[in-house]
């Protein structure tokens, strides 16, 4: 199984969306896109740049929290069934 980290807004982020100047333009855009279903890679692709540092900063400041989606790979399925 593989755990994919997804990012979702906290209540602090929802408050910041009304005031984009609080976090800056790029962070505001990232907060808009963080919906709990998008991974770091998906968010980077949408913004056209690596967002690793920005995600980490927003998470440390309490604007984002990480959720996980567990994905079972085919190899895991075969191992479980003995195929």
Residue, of 4 and 15, whose pLDDT is higher: 15
Q: According to the model, what pLDDT value does residue 75 have?
A: 57
State the pairing for strand pair 2-9/64-71. antiparallel
Per-residue pLDDT tens digits for 41-71: 999 999 999 999 999 999 999 999 998 766 6
The residues with which 68 forms a beta bridge, in sequence order, are: 5
**8: enclosing H helix or E strand:** strand 2-9
pLDDT at 18 over 70: yes
Q: Is the pTM of this model over 0.85?
A: no
Structure tokens at 22: 């609080």
The per-residue pLDDT for 3 is 75
Percent of the chain with pLDDT over 70: 82
Q: Domain spans of the chain?
A: 2-81
Helices within 1-83 (DSSP H only): 11-17, 25-33, 40-47, 52-60, 74-81
């Amino acid at each position: 199984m593989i755990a994919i980290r997804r990012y979702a807004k906290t209540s602090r982020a929802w408050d910041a969306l009304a005031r984009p100047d609080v976090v800056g333009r790029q962070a505001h855009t990232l907060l808009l896109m963080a919906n709990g279903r998008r991974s770091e890679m998906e968010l980077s692709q949408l913004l056209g740049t690596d967002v690793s540092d920005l995600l980490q900063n927003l998470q440390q400041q309490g604007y984002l929290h990480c959720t996980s989606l567990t994905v079972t790979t085919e190899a895991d399925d075969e191992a479980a069934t003995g195929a």
